[in-house]
Chains A and B, each alone.
Chain A
Amino acid sequence: MSFPWANHYEPQNPLMKWVDEKLPLPRLVYNAVGAGYPVPRNLNYMYNFGVLAGFCLVLQIVTGVILAMHYAPNALVAFGSTEHIMRNVNWGWMLRYMHANGASFFFLVLYLHIFRGFYYGSYKAPREMIWLLGVVIFLLCMATAFMGYVLPWGQMSFWGAKVITGLFGAIPLVGEPLQIWLLGGYAPDNAALNRFFSLHFLLPFVIAGVVILHIWALHIPGSTNPTGVEVKKESDTVPFHPYYTAKDGFGLGVFLILYCLFVFFMPNALGHPDNYIEANPLSTPALIVPEWYFYPFYAILRAFTFDFILTAQLWGVLAMFSAILMWFFLPWLDRSPVRSASYRPLYRIFFWVLMVDMAALFYLGGAHAEEPYIMFSQLATAYYFLHFLVIVPIVSSIERPKPLPYSITEAVLGKDDDAQLGATVAAKA
């Protein structure tokens, strides 16, 4: 693991010496997020979101475990027990708003983290495994959040669960039995609520496990950096601690300020009013939408309105799942050896078009299923698939990248003495 010039753990304190001999846990921490982990010295703020995502996971687990002490996963009382938390449990309102907005901020951070990856080519060799594990984490987070939203058993909880599990019904032949098996009945009810609660409690710990693998895999090649040029020598790096602990600490502060503004001053701004109405299987809400962080994929689901060989609904379901699953193949779709979009003039343009496209999908996923919104989401969906499956492979083979700096040191300081020596040093490195 890590670079040869990494600092070595040498405990001074006799107690730490003693612990380290018996169980080298302090050493592990030192090498993972301490002074023993050299990191490129030129990381910008876009590289803050991994740490923030880890923070969000811990926050969700801590608030979630306490909420679970007061919540009752039974269709008869779930809504009331949520209100009990809001009204009677000491600081219950704060825990619940932290947990609900925490999910939103978790996804905000995850999206930024993923888009950072798109821009700086974080998925490319030798970091494919980090990327694959990252997509697994994202999928697990989506499943967890979806099930969590069902727990308060409001109108949106119920109808969201019904619509999303109904998607499995679109699968030919096995669809309906599968849906009934998933729900434990024909419609979401006590059986569904109970299993969703059970899984909602379990999955975050699975996520934590995959996060450990994600970080483990990361520590082999180390982070990318805005130049995309690999670390060559000590002057390209700084120790994680204190340099990035300090920088991430500041980032965490800014993040927490924004988060607290929502938790304490507009806690329901990201939610839907209908979820303050108790679930009622007999009354369909005028508009059924998931939480905002699912909007892009919900827009893709609803974009398919025309039966072409398969039913429109099945197209929608296939497209929605493919929209994320295809990220698994990204390392092999993008063949450009240059990582950073800063040196890829053509790819960079398409990256920003994708960002506009994603913004459109975010907006359209929350809109009423009526024209002209559907037409726009059809166009945005078409571009989304073109981008990843057609544009990225083609651009990566025809593009002429800009010249890269010799090293991170050169990019930061404007000159690198080793680079003057030219080929000799390059050969040595």
Chain B
Amino acid sequence: MIRLFAILIGLVFSGVALLSFGVGAYTFATEEHEPTAEHEFHLAPKDVAYSFDGPFGKWDKVQLQRGYKVYKEVCAACHSLKFVSFRDLADLGYSEAQVKALAAEWQVPGIDPDTGEATLRPGLPTDRFPLVYPNDVAARAANNNAIPPDLSLMTKARHDGTNYVHSLLIGYADPATYKNAEGKSLAQEFPEFSTPPGLNFNPYFANLNLAMAAPIAADGQVTYDDGTTATVDQMATDVAAFLTWTAEPKMQQRKQTGTWFILFLLFATTLAYFSYKNIWAGKKPKKGSSE
């Protein structure tokens, strides 16, 4: 009885699923499939090698310092870093005094000690990086109706985030003349494709047009303190490294801790294996069982 009932229910469910399949397949076969520009011209980020790649990766502190400089001088005009505190900058190899000085270069919200009114004061190491805009409306008003997202977690909030940030920054192109790696021209393949005024064409961005204009536009835009030549690519690479650190400041500690965990576990598991074999020695058959 119960099985008869089950067979009936099973046939109903799979029948309705197959019905959906039939209708879907018919539509699929009869409908025309217009390829979209997003589908044909969107690019996956380019691979860049970093010192923190791999299981034993470590921060390149000098690179992070360069990246911080790019952030401060370029990105910070629009993007906040609200989950990062100035004291975290000690990770980049700065001394306590240097961190204090770096923090003081920023203006953070404070309270006037005499009047109690809201004011700005120089940052302290315990402060977070300040917000750029008081609210979303102000952010939109200043950026063509788009909100510049907080960058603290950006490299974890996108697939292949570190490479994505780098590629995005160097990927701007002119849609009228853009050709992809196979030599296909966007303007020829998709004559209707357009980049609306106020937006900028970038094949690494999901829908190819984004509100941020190329923030790093020319070599030498930032002057590096360590003498590295500040090409566009170098600055993009360095700021992507810096943003990887802001998103996952504990990465190096995590990998190092993990290495010890794995080494210990390999040792313990080997011991466990031999004690298992030892204990079972008398119970195992000479030849294989049926399983």
Binding site for B on A (CB under 8 A): 41-42, 44, 80, 83, 86-87, 93-94, 97, 226-227, 238, 242-243, 246-247, 249-250, 252-254, 256-257, 260-261, 263-265, 267-268, 273-274, 276-277, 286, 303-306, 308, 312, 315, 318-319, 322, 326, 329, 332-333, 335, 342, 371-372, 374-375, 378-379, 381-386, 388-390, 393-394, 405, 411-414
Contacts and interface: CB of A to CB of B under 8 A. Distances in A.
B146 to A, nearest CB: 12
Contact of A333 (B2, B19, B268): B2
A412 B290 CA distance: 7
Given A260-B261, A413-B285, A305 B20 contact: yes
Interface residues of B, number: 59
Contacts of B279: 242-243, 246
A85 B279 CA distance: 43
Contacts of A322: 9, 13
B110 interface: no
A303 B19 contact: no
A377 to B, nearest CB: 9
Contacts of B19: 306, 308
Given A93-B254, A273-B157, A315-B16, A371 B28 contact: yes
Contact of B269 (A250, A342, A405): A250
A275 to B, nearest CB: 8
A303 B17 contact: yes
A304 B17 contact: yes
Contacts of B255: 264-265
The winner among A306, A308, A315 for most chain B CB atoms within 10 A is: A306
B115 interface: no
Contact of B276 (A97, A247, A375, A413): A247
The winner among B2, B3, B280, B285 for most chain A CB atoms within 10 A is: B3
B276 to A, nearest CB: 4
Contact of A80 (B83, B285, B289, B290): B83
Interface in B239-289: 247, 249-250, 253-255, 257-259, 261-262, 265-266, 268-269, 272-273, 275-276, 279-280, 283, 285, 287, 289
17 contacts: A250-B272, A257-B269, A260-B262, A276-B156, A276-B157, A277-B153, A286-B206, A306-B23, A326-B9, A329-B6, A335-B3, A375-B28, A378-B21, A382-B13, A385-B14, A412-B289, A413-B289
Contact of B24 (A44, A242, A247, A305): A305
- Ranked nearest first, the 6 interchain pairs of A and B with the lowest CB-CB distance are A264-B258, A389-B10, A253-B269, A378-B21, A382-B14, A276-B157
B142 interface: no
A302 to B, nearest CB: 10
A238 B283 CA distance: 9
Given A342-B290, A390-B10, A253 B83 contact: no
A264 B262 contact: yes
B176 interface: no
B291 interface: yes
B2 to A, nearest CB: 5
A318 B13 CA distance: 9
A419 to B, nearest CB: 14
Contacts of B287: 414
Given A97-B254, A276-B153, 14 more contacts: A86-B250, A243-B279, A249-B272, A250-B269, A263-B258, A265-B258, A276-B157, A304-B16, A305-B23, A374-B24, A381-B17, A384-B14, A390-B7, A411-B289
A250 B156 contact: no
B249 to A, nearest CB: 6
Contact of B249 (A87, A374, A386): A87
A47 to B, nearest CB: 11
Nearest to B274: A250
A372 B88 CA distance: 48
A83 B238 CA distance: 24
A83 B150 CA distance: 13
B17 A226 contact: no
A42 B258 contact: no
Nearest to A252: B272
A87 B156 CA distance: 14
A333 B7 CA distance: 9
B201 to A, nearest CB: 19
Contact of B272 (A227, A243, A246, A342): A246
